[in-house]
Structure 1
Amino acid sequence: MQKWMGNARLICKQFIIPFTIFQGVRTILLPTTFDVLLLTLFIGIGLAIYFDWI
């Protein structure tokens, strides 16, 4: 893995959980199609990072 990709992965790993929690609360309060898709994307990215799929 290139150095910049490793740095990007570490940055994403640091921010994905707060973004996912915020998006989950937002989706519960005001659900739109975009919010649900974005929450699904954040969950997928979070799983991929923490299980080393990427």
Structure 2
Amino acid sequence: MKRRFNTYAFQNSMRNFKAVCRQLVVPICIFQGIRTLIFPTILDVFLFIILIALAFSLHFEWI
């Protein structure tokens, strides 16, 4: 018997994953911002920019 793929299960798990990312990205951004102020390396700056872009995209639901 062939098993069918449930598309709603995938969407629900994706919603849960995005909700967890929304909750975690802001504290990580704050930590990375403080780290960037204390130890300003180019890697920290790029990581901070990427995290800020991710936070905005999750907030405005661009992803």
Q: Following the alignment from structure 1 to structure 2, what is the Cα–Cα distance between the partners of residues 35 and 5?
A: 28
Let me know the Cα RMSD of the aligned residues.
Answer: 1.1
Q: Quick one: percent identity of the two aligned structures?
A: 39
- Structure number with bigger Rg: 2
Q: Which amino acid aligns with 2:41?
A: T
> What TM-score, normalized to structure 2?
0.80
Task: Verify: 1:27 aligned to 2:36, yes or no.
Answer: yes
Name which structure has the greater RCO, CA cutoff 8 Å, separation 6+: 1
Matched, 1:5 2:14: yes
Gaps of 5+ in 1: none
Q: Which runs of 4+ in 1 moved over 6 A?
A: none
